[in-house]
Structure 1
Amino acid sequence: MGNFSDNHQVWSLYGESCPEESIPIGRTKEQDILRAGSISKFGRKLNQIKMDSNTIEHEHSIGYVTGNYKGAKADINVWVPNVEIEGEFSLAQIWILSDPFGDDRNTIEAAKSRVSFTILNYFSQSCVVFPQLYGDNRPRLFIYWTADGYKNTGCYNLLCPGFVQTNKNVVIGGTITPTSTYNGGQFEITLLIWKDQDNGNWWFGYGTEIVGYWPSSLFTQFNDNAHAIQFGGEIVNSKSKGSHTSTQMGSGHFAEENYGKAAYFKYLQVVKSDNSFHPLSEDPKYIANKPNCYNIKGGSSKDWGKYFFYGGPGRNENCP
């Protein structure tokens, strides 16, 4: 198993870095705007994600905990899931939420995706494959925030004022490499978010790099704590061919296939009132709203702490 907690993005493999007091920013091209349909839509989530079992277009397999938290951390297994059409995506991410089910929640997201994280006041970080946003099917590091449940505020990465990047080595929106293979090498990234007790800002870390922060002034419901943490995968099912999408989640294989075949999150941690990371002491609650398409299976071990396998192929004989 490999771990590239240090910055293993494609551009860094060639020794690229920015001068002091500058940051790397992905170039926005004309075709990026055209894919979004308009400048006002570029970088915004086109559909809300509601973390309940009645979601139609967004399908997810997640583990979650509720309580009073000031951050979260996890090691995320990196794959390259197939995304059927532009406009769909597949992501693995951590959500920090003010309210897991409210309509105006604050949210922070961070993720690895082949597309695309969520709070009413919320933010997230993740790994995503998202052809409509990036114009390709490569897994990328992304972040997202909203202060009103995706209605009017928030954006991906650095595409609007909000997140303040302080790191010159990490490209937000940059391609992640290497990636895992079925019955082959397994690779991970580490994502973390935590609240600065002195000023209320929410910081984002990628591996050993501290990347930047979301200012406390962005949010209306994060004055003290987040009230839910969610870990897991999400896809968009557009039913473009009149049936369920074949967009994959994770490795494209179900959780029961386990290590080397199914994607996983491991060493799930949260930040408590002492401002330190703590391994989860309780088992998360698990939700897979389309278990015949994508599922999830949790566990616990000395080496991995709380963990889960998740994912699936999408359309199949049991998921028409």
Structure 2
Amino acid sequence: MRSSHKFILLILSTISLISLVTESRKTIPSEGKKRELEKLLNHINKPAIKSFQSKHGYILDCIDIHKQLAFDHPLLKNHSIQLKPTTIPKWTRDNDTSQQSTSLPFRQEEDIICPPGTVIIKRTTLEDLIQFQRLESLGFKPTSKDRNDDPPGHYTAVAQYYALNFGGMGNINVWDPQVEPDQYSLSSIYVQGGLKEDFESISSGWIVILTSSYAPTTLVKSVLSFYPKQTNKKGCYNTLCPGFVQVSRKFSLGTVVRPVSRYGGKQYHLEISIYQDALTKDWWYVLKGEPVGYWPNPLFSYSGLAEGADNVWWGGEVFSAGKDRISPIMGSGFVPQDDFGKAAYINGLRVIDHVRKLIIPPAKDLVVYASSPTCYNVKTISRRGAYWSRAIFYGGPAGCTVR
């Protein structure tokens, strides 16, 4: 196991190397830099017991569960793997089928499952490293409670629950909004805690961002991000740095999300929950009822997320770099009207409250916030059925001019 010093050097070398590559999207790395990147990729990509080729072009590796990158983190040196949560919330299912019949969970297109004793991990590529640097340069970070922290060009439309809690869930409607280079559009659920100095955040959802010139396509990618104090203040996403312990043999992080919703047509969503295990205090990520993995409790501080969270957010974000640029589409591109199949939604909103009781957040306790309501907005709704008893519509068309 590597020391803390070597771990820090690894993170710094990752940032510096990919910075060299992203200075110009048209520049091909020199042979020397390629060798350095390959060495870094060899460290990130652990030896595979079995591999699968995805129809989307990436490789899924089956890695020995004990040899995954998570355990390169110095705080996890003697960590005992939890194969499943010790406590599992009974997330309420929907009994009203009036809209559920056309709102379908994300389905795994690949009929892939890794052997027992391994976990499924998307192989990291040069493109992934470049995309990580681009997201960082575009200001990809958790939405802070301090709204004055938002950089120019960053817009949000979210519903917020401010109270001590131990996690939340939501069904995040999936779209593929058009973006341009140096832009992104995403939808996610955030669980956050701590003040500005000790702020910590974990989140999951999807993001659309143009890839580099090596593969100029738009991807709707599943994203898992975390910003614990002990890792670095810039945070990480997916499995590009140690910390998140993967346990699933079925669902990998950072994969393409398909199918996506269509205006007036079938609607698809990611069924996501993030919650803290009552016994181990680890934070678990569950997709479509499958425990994918967890953030171990030692990664967090007492004033951050070690003992619960301060707030849960649901909604959309967009970002556009450069002055006088037009911001991209958020969600479906339509304003949040009470029309299923048109505006983007997140339904099935739930939280685990201060006494670890699973509740539908009261309407009076949900604060809606749109940083630029003339461009993007958010609206809470309440209907029959567990999915729609508490939900939001959010989003809007491209059109804000970055000043």
**TM-score (norm. length: structure 2):** 0.66
- Structure 2 SS opposite 1:89: strand
- Report sequence identity in percent: 28
Looking at structure 2, the residues matched to 121 and 94 of structure 1 have their Cα atoms a distance apart, in angstroms, of 14
Q: What is the Cα deviation at residue 150 of structure 1? A: 9.1
Partner of 1:191: 272
> Residue 2 of structure 1 corresponds to which residue in structure 2?
103
Aligned residue runs from structure 1 range 53-202, under 5 A: 53-54=147-148, 55=150, 56-85=152-181, 87-99=182-194, 102-105=195-198, 120-132=199-211, 136-148=217-229, 152=233, 154-202=235-283
Q: Is the 8 A contact 1:256 1:262 kept in 2?
A: yes
Q: Which amino acid aligns with 2:161?
A: V
Q: Deviations over 1:158-217 (max 9, x none)?
A: 110111010010011111122110111111221001111111100000011110100011
Q: Tell me whether 212-221 or 76-85 shows the greater mean CA deviation.
A: 76-85
CA shift for structure 1 position 274: 4.5
Q: 1:214 to 1:19 in 2, by over 3 A?
A: same
1:229 counterpart residue number: 312
Shift of 1:239: 3.6
Aligned residue in 1 for 2:392: 308
Q: What amino acid is the match of 1:88?
A: Q
Contact 2:335 2:395 in 1 (8 A): yes
Q: Distance in 2 between matches of 1:156 and 1:44?
A: 10
Q: Does the 8 A contact of 2:202 with 2:227 survive in 1? A: yes
The one-letter amino acid paired with 2:125 is K
Give the direction of change, closer, same or farther, for the CA distance of 1:279–1:184 in structure 2 (3 Å limit).
same
CA distance in 2, matches of 1:262, 1:129: 17
Q: Which runs of 5+ in 2 are unaligned?
A: 1-101
1:149 and 1:44, CA in 2 relative to 1: closer, same or farther beyond 3 A? Answer: farther
Larger Rg: 2
Please list the CA deviations of residues 194-250 of structure 1 after superposition, one character each: whole Å capped at 9, or x if unmatched. Answer: 11111110000001111010001111122322011111001112146x2322x1110
CA root-mean-square deviation: 2.6
Aligned to 1:215: 296
**C-alpha distance in 1 between matches for 2:340 and 2:315:** 16
Bigger share in helix? 2
CA contact (8 A) 1:57 1:236 kept: yes
**Is the 2:186–2:316 Cα contact (8 Å) retained in structure 1?**
yes
How many pairs were matched up? 291
TM-score (norm 1): 0.83
After superposition, the Cα gap between the structure-2 partners of 1:294 and 1:239, relative to the gap in structure 1 and judged at 3 Å, is farther
Whether the 8 Å contact between 1:79 and 1:180 is mirrored in structure 2 is yes
Tell me which residue corresponds to 1:299. 381
1:20 aligned onto 2:116:
yes
Where in structure 1 do 4 or more consecutive aligned residues deviate above 4 Å? 41-46, 132-135
Q: Is the contact between residue 60 and residue 294 of structure 1 (CA under 8 Å) also seen in structure 2?
A: yes
Separation in 2 of the partners of 1:44 and 1:162?
Answer: 18
Displacement, 1:309?
Answer: 0.6
Q: Which blocks of at least 5 consecutive residues in structure 1 are unaligned?
A: 106-119
The 3-state SS of whatever aligns with 2:273 is strand
